[in-house]
A and B are shown apart, each in its own frame.
Chain A
Amino acid sequence: MTQRLRNKAVATDTGRILIAMVSIALKRITKDFAKKRVLDDVSLQVENGEFVAILGPSGCGKTTMLRLIAGFEQMNSGTIHFNDEIIASPERNLPPEKRNVGIVFQNYALWPHMNVEQNVGYALKIAGVSSDERRRRSLDALATVAMENFAGRAPADLSGGQRQRVALARCLAANPSVMLLDEPLANLDVHLRASMEREFSDFHRRTRATMIYITHDQSEAMALADRIAVMDAGRVMQFARPHELYREPRNEMVARFIGNGLVLPVADLQRGRADGTVNVDIFGHRSEVRARKDQAKLAGASLGVHPDDLKLADSPVEGFAAEVERITYRGSHVQVHFRPRHAPDLSLSLHAPHDRPVSAGDTISVCVGDGWVIPEAA
């Protein structure tokens, strides 16, 4: 264990840089800051070469988790394993400089007194790589982010996006087994984000590095990640593939958090026509929705739906009755705010096309196109 995890150069003749992969397991980790529990019994298994996104509201412990993996913080209980090897526990801790992780920081953290090439080659210098070899590999790494022509520049003379690329190249050149990225795109403008997003995805496809990527942006996470861990208040709520998170949220928090989901109270669950469906009563109208195969027949449950799943029904028998409260013009569509007649306390909204004019005070009929019975209803 005292030996460094950093391994020898793995540069192939094509100049492509391969990364030694590692699987990461967090087991039952808790972390307190001054008596405040920031991570609460977190377990997570990230496979070799997997791209995992961590998603969650501000302050839920994402950065803390990343810093634990990197070795900057110590946990109160639990263990972290790299390839089944314990590298951190409350008693023993491999320091960050020996873990062979790479981090891309939100603020880039480029060293201002070194030029781009020196920044990128620093880890190699520490590892004792000869200066010719170092130069070659730094330029290789810069080439993967199309920055090889900026090698002699000072970080201060680069734009935000260019700095982000250099930070990525620096991480890459160090040849880490794990790449940790803490909101790497948060400081960039919308257009740059889109192109950097593509670059991350290319980058991951080429290197197959194990990556843990923190973001606030759901669409970013959905686009990039193999799996997404949704966190809330120091706990992992669900860890699943993007479409699964969207279609089959495990609890109400995930259901509401992902894709502006809505949670509707439903009653009288009956077996549906097909496996994995149930027939439920939604505000007085019976609909067929998705559910777990083993979903119990309950008197009441919560249904997760997305705004697009609620539609204006063609006839009153096809949906539940509701009162239109007000209308908001949204360009491509109008947003109709309404209250179900069976639950007037609840304010919901749906997107209606322009060719279905409704106005405040109208009675409409709303049908639920798709829904999912949340298994862990509160």
Chain B
Amino acid sequence: MTDIAAVMPGERRPVPAIRLGPETLTLGILVIFVATISLAPLGRLALTAIAPDGTLDLASTWSVLARPRVFTAALNSLYVALASTLLAVVLGSIAAVLTVHGNIRFKAVWVFGFVLPLMIPPQVTALAWVQAFSPTSPVLGLFGLALTPGVRHPLFSAGGIIFLLGIYNAPLVFLTVRAALRRLPANLAEAARASGAGNLQLVFTVLLPLARAGIFAGAAIAFVSAIGNFGIQAMLGIPARFPTLITLIYQQLNSYGPSGLSDMAALSLLLSLITVIALGLSNWLGGRGDVRVEEGGRPAEIDLGRWRLPVEAGAWLYLSATLLLPLSALFATSLVKGFGQQLGWDTLTLTNYANALFHHASIRDAFATSLLLTVTAVLLLSVISLVLAYFISWKKSPLVRLIQMAAELSYVLPGIVLGVAMILYFLRPLPLLGFSIYGTIWIILAAYLSNFLALALRPLLGGFSQIDRSLEDAARVAGAGFVQRMRDIILPMLAPAVIAGGIIVFMSALNEIQVSILLVSSSARTIGPMIVFLEEGGSSTLAAAVGCLMILIVLALMGIASLFANRLPKGALPWRD
């Protein structure tokens, strides 16, 4: 047998408690990364808002916020966000109860159709709805319901914005309520039945109260999403002359350029405060009362009896109204030469698609830029979120918690706020490098990384919670260092979660408009804002073609992702049952 002394040298060099190994180094890089893309810009924003000239000057902040225009916009923002959240909660909860507990047929298809609007860029949705009511709408036209020219468009109003935001965000509520309902074991419902509860009583006295945390969580997400939804608020609100906080910020930049930044910062801070307060409130409301249950088992089924057919009919009608109506209008518009033309064999043309793909350099470049930024963001965020999730799950420390909070904050704050923060932070030339990235695609990339880090993190945190830590311990005792463990053990086991996160980030980044709307310049344009610019410039048919192309890309992505669905963690793809 070997002499152990031979393998253990006698000299005693102290091993410091904290070693500058790859692990510490990685954590250091993570901290610097998150500080640069999240903490510092947001801090800068807050500072600019309350101390525009470097010294605390709340009076000037107040003078910005106290303007009647700002007050009206803030009220409008609150109004549309709250009302649309209410609509989304009602629609989403009904849909969730029906798909989890109802005995309706073709559930999987219906779930897919219900969640689909969430995957479509909001500005495309807005455009499609605007065209659905246009004088030449193919669907409404068929029924003779189309508006006569000259009448004010019904969607260019507060009601229109609320309606679209409500429909757009209903899937968000649907997903959280559905998840909450599925946790409930069937025996709770059976006990209620045994006590004599009918269908409606069961839903209102047992199921929904127990799913309350899910409902409030969904409402919070819907509210945050609504108040920051630039696509719909801008496409409908600007023509309607209905100002909200984010359209005000947008117009501020358009009219004054970066010189209006301190005003924009104050507005952004107000918007952020509203968001954070709403989240806190919903958290508090949703967390009250004990709704803990033993998880597991199949959800209880509710037999709709003779109501089954009417309910199914209603459900399919809803889908056709929310999907077919707008999308067919969008598609029809994309196929005619000029806006307002009837679609027929003589007017049918593919010119718009040819223009969008080949002739319009700015559109082509925007597609290319978006793809480049999206792919880069996905790749970087996959690596970063894997390592960050590792630290969050298994190496908790106050520093790590701070990083996680910063990531969450950058995600929940409206994208436009992040945009303002990015401009403020990156306007000045970078230290050492000596040039500013403002106006280039890199500032958009920074904003994407900041905004979508939490999104990429989510499936990974779920993945880590499902694997036992002893698997890593076993690799450590096998002699594997940090990098080897990441490569050989953790990455292979979490690969599905990484992919799931990548898909979600890819779709979100490709669809987004609110983050980059303030950051785009003539030399750096993404595809999201392109539609708004085209529509503002009067090229509705071209905008429709671009919108259709984006939907096509999204559908293709969803299809590809679905191919891998059974290898991904459960619930990683929101549109899958």
Tally the A-B contacts, defined by beta carbons under 8 Å.
Answer: 118
Known: A2-B13, A111-B493. A176 touches B477 (CB 8 A): yes
A107 touches B477 (CB 8 A): no
Does any Cβ of A come within 8 Å of B479's Cβ? yes
Residues of B1-38 at the interface with A, using a CB-CB cut-off of 8 Å, are 1-2, 4-17, 19, 21
Residue A101 lies at the interface, judged by CB distance under 8 Å to chain B: yes
Q: For residue B8, which residues in chain A have a CB less than 8 angstroms away from its CB?
A: 1, 3, 5, 82-83, 85
Instruction: Evaluate whether A126 and B1 lie within 8 angstroms (CB atoms) in the complex, with A1-B13, A85-B8 already known.
Output: no
A287 in contact (CB, < 8 A): no
Chain B residues near A72: list those with CB within 8 A: 473, 476
Q: B2 touching A111 by the CB < 8 A rule?
A: no
Q: Check if B15 sits within 8 Å of A97, measured CB to CB.
A: no
- B12: chain A residues at CB < 8 Å are 1, 85-86
Cβ-defined contact, B4 with A91, below 8 A: no
Q: B477 and A3: CB pair below 8 A?
A: no
B contact face: mostly helix, strand, loop, or mixed: loop
| A1 and B15 within 8 A (CB) | yes
Contact of B479 among A112, A113, A126 (CB under 8 A): A126
Q: How far is the CA of A85 from the CA of B481 in the complex (A)?
A: 22
Q: Evaluate contact between B477 and A103: CB separation under 8 angstroms.
A: yes
Number of interface residues of A (CB under 8 A): 51
Dominant secondary structure of chain A at its interface with chain B? loop
Could you say which residues of chain B place their CB within 8 Å of the CB of A100? Answer: 479
A20 B477 Cβ-Cβ under 8 A: no
Most buried by A among B471, B478, B481, B489: B478
Expressed in whole angstroms, the Cα–Cα distance for A170 and B1 within the complex equals 20
Cβ contacts under 8 Å, B11 to chain A: 1
When the two chains form their complex, are residues A83 and B4 in contact, meaning their CB atoms are under 8 A apart? Answer: yes
Which of A6, A93, A126 has a CB less than 8 Å from the CB of B17?
Answer: A93
Interface contact B489-A111, CB-CB below 8 Å: yes
Given A20-B2, A126-B484, A177-B4, verify A97-B479 contact (CB < 8 Å).
yes
Bound-state Cα–Cα, A113 to B489, Å: 8
Q: Which of A171-195 contact B (CB under 8 A)?
A: 174, 176-177
- CB contacts under 8 Å to A, within B474-496, are 474-481, 484, 488-489, 492-493
Taking a contact as CB atoms closer than 8 A, the residue among A4, A82, A112 that contacts B493 in the complex is: A112
Any A CB within 8 A of the CB of B259: no
Contacts of A107 in B (CB 8 A): 468, 470
Residues of A within 8 A of B476 (CB): 71-72, 95-97
- Asked whether, in the complex, the Cβ of A10 is within 8 Å of the Cβ of B2, the reply is yes
Assembly CA distance A100 to B7 (angstroms): 11
Q: Which residues of A contact B6 (CB under 8 A)?
A: 7
Tell me the bound Cα distance from A92 to B475 in angstroms: 22
In the assembled complex, the CB of A106 is this many whole angstroms from the nearest CB of chain B, namely 8
Whether, in the assembled complex, A127 has its beta carbon less than 8 Å from a beta carbon of chain B, the answer is yes
Q: Which residues in window 496-540 of B have CB below 8 A to A? A: none
Flag if A91 contacts B479 (CB, 8 Å): no
Residue A109 is within 8 A (CB to CB) of chain B in the complex: yes
Q: Chain B residues with Cβ under 8 A from A94's Cβ?
A: 15
List residues 108-132 of chain A with CB under 8 A from any CB of chain B: 109-113, 122-123, 126-127
A143 in the interface, Cβ–Cβ < 8 Å?
Answer: no
A287–chain B nearest beta-carbon distance, Å = 50
Q: Across the interface, name the chain A residue whose C-beta is closest to B9.
A: A3
A105 within 8 A of B: yes
Q: Is the CB of A20 within 8 A of B7?
A: yes
How many Å from the CB of B298 to the closest CB on chain A? Answer: 24
B residues contacting the other copy or chain, number (CB 8 A) = 35
Q: In whole angstroms, what is the CA distance A103 to B475 when docked?
A: 10
Contact code string B165-176 (vs A, CB < 8 Å = 1, else 0): 000000000000
Contact (Cβ within 8 A) B479 A105: no
Interface residues of A in 294-310 (CB under 8 A from B): none
Could you say which of B9, B473, B479 contacts A109, with CB atoms under 8 Å apart? B473
Contacts A105-B473, A113-B493 given: A122-B488 contact, CB under 8 Å? yes
Asked if A105 and B5 make an inter-chain contact with CB atoms under 8 angstroms apart, the answer reads no
What residues of A have a CB within 8 angstroms of the CB of B484 in the complex? Answer: 126
In the bound complex, what is the Cα–Cα distance between A9 and B401 (angstroms)? 43
Say if the beta carbon of A151 comes within 8 Å of chain B: no
Measured between beta carbons, the chain B residues less than 8 angstroms from A170 are 474, 478
Distance of B320 from chain A, by nearest CB (Å):
44
**Among A103, A110, A122, which residue has its beta carbon within 8 angstroms of that of B473?**
A103
- In the complex, the answer to whether A101 meets B2 with C-beta atoms within 8 Å is no
A101 in complex: contacting residue of B4, B7, B17, B477, CB < 8 Å? B477
Interface centre among B5, B6, B7, B468 (most CB of A within 10 A): B7
Contacting B at CB under 8 A, from A56-97, are: 70-72, 74, 82-83, 85-86, 90-97
How far is A123 from B475 in the complex, measured between Cα atoms in Å? 8
Contacts of B474 in A (CB 8 A): 103, 105, 109-111, 170
A71 CA / B476 CA spacing, docked (Å): 10
Q: Are A93 and B15 in contact (CB under 8 A)?
A: yes
When distances are taken between beta carbons in the complex, the residues of chain A under 8 Å from B492 are 111, 113
The interface residues of chain B lying within 8 Å CB-to-CB of A85 are 8, 10, 12
**Selected contact of A7 from candidates B7, B468, B473, CB within 8 Å:** B7
Is A22 located at the chain interface by the 8 A CB criterion? yes
B470/A109 in contact, CB under 8 A: yes
CA gap between A142 and B139 in the complex, in Å: 70
- With both beta carbons as reference points, the residue of chain B lying nearest to A20 in the complex is identified as B2
- Whether the pair B480, A22 counts as a contact (CB closer than 8 A) is no
Binary flags per residue of A1-40, CB closer than 8 Å to B gives 1, else 0: 1111111101000000011111000000000000000000
Judging by beta carbons under 8 Å apart, are B1 and A92 in contact? no
Q: Hey, which chain A residues are within 8 Å of B9, CB to CB?
A: 1, 3
Residue pair B4, A109 in contact (C-beta under 8 Å): no
Residue of B nearest to A92 (CB): B15
A261 interface residue (CB < 8 Å to B): no
User: Could you tell me the distance between the alpha carbons of A92 and B9 in the complex, rounded to whole angstroms?
Assistant: 17
A97–B1 CB distance below 8 A? no
Q: List 25 A-B contacts (CB under 8 A).
A: A1-B11, A1-B12, A1-B15, A3-B7, A6-B7, A7-B2, A7-B4, A20-B1, A20-B2, A21-B1, A70-B477, A82-B4, A82-B8, A91-B14, A92-B14, A94-B15, A96-B473, A96-B477, A98-B479, A102-B477, A109-B471, A111-B489, A111-B493, A113-B493, A176-B477
* Interface contacts beyond A2-B13, A70-B473, A91-B16: sample of 7 additional A-B pairs, CB < 8 Å, sorted by A: A1-B13, A82-B8, A97-B480, A105-B474, A107-B470, A122-B488, A174-B477
Closest 4 CB pairs of A and B: A123-B478, A109-B470, A92-B15, A96-B476
